[in-house]
Amino acid sequence: MNYTLNQLQIFLKIVQTQSVTKAAEELHLTQPAVSIQLKNFQDQFDIPLTEVLGRKIYITDFGREIAVAAENIINQVYAINYKTQAFKGQLTGRLKISIVSTGKYIMPYFLTSFMQKHAGIELMMDVANKNMVIESLENNEIDFALVSILPSNLNIEYLELLQNKLYLVGNTAIKTKKNAKPEEIFSDLPLIFREKGSGTRQTMVKFIEGNNLSVLKKMELTSNEAVKQALIAGLGYSIMPLIGIRNELQNNELQIIPVKGLPITTNWSLIWLKGKKHSPVSLSFLEYLKLEKSEIVKKTFSWYENY
């Protein structure tokens, strides 16, 4: 056999995602490249690793055993790299973070200097909706999660990073009546929701129900970017986090529509399971944030205070 580390990594990702397409996306490779490497890997075994039925790929029992072995090999390779760097006096290891989708506008800025300072750290950051993020945390698959709403069903500790503000947003072509009451505005506007499981949707629904508002029309989209593009195109309005629409506001593509009771304010918080035994890497990152978060907010998010 002559399989490569790259083939092991690709096959393991296919098993984890149950999809060649998703594996390609997460590995930042093209689908044909992943398919070729999968074929080359499978050709080295007399027993099938996968089966394709219709358009779906299934992993055989033998394939799952090979995936476990592949993961062990990959972990050993990482361990060798970490030990080499640790011998040189560098902080090494993995930092695993899961963030809600809008958190992509925030978390990188709290990571940059830390990652630049510690070249031996491997960052693994997953972006998903709130339900999936909390599930990863609950299963202890990650070190930290970034959320805008603290989970009520988990025993956690947290560190607040930045205030979260949510406004009613639409494109600039529509004019709303001055001093209109919330019920008047919402009865006239087609409203776009995020998907179920989204923290933004949860906040939006809570506001609508808390104010006994009736909604004219509903649409549902599965990402913050999709909602933004729909608003710019004039499909409707939505309650959105300010953090994700800075450029659109400055370019006059979107506007904030004044509504009594808005903005809704929560906090972007880094959370972890209470009692978690942090690795040296995650403990170092936590200490870094406690020392540097105020300066990062001041330097990067000063524009935020203008709204």
Asked if domains 90-162+267-306 and 163-266 share a fold, the reply is yes
The pLDDT of residue 159: 97
> Rounded to whole angstroms, how far apart are CA atoms 169 and 240?
7
Q: Mark out the alpha helices in the chain (DSSP H runs).
A: 5-17, 20-27, 31-42, 61-87, 107-117, 130-138, 182-188, 199-210, 224-233, 246-250, 280-300
Tell me how many degrees the CA angle 188-193-195 measures, rounded to the nearest 5. Answer: 160
CATH homologous superfamily, domain 90-162+267-306: Periplasmic binding protein-like II (3.40.190.10)
Structure pTM?
0.70
The pLDDT of residue 90: 63
Q: What is the CATH number of domain 5-86?
A: 1.10.10.10
> Rounded to whole angstroms, how far apart are CA atoms 17 and 35?
14
The pLDDT of residue 197: 84
Q: What is the CATH number of domain 163-266?
A: 3.40.190.10
Mapped onto helix, strand or coil, the DSSP state of residue 209 is: helix
Tell me how many degrees the CA angle 285-129-278 measures, rounded to the nearest 5. Answer: 25
Which residues of the chain fall short of a pLDDT of 70?
79, 81-90, 177-180, 217
Give residue limits of the domains in the chain.
5-86, 90-162+267-306, 163-266
The pLDDT of residue 76: 78
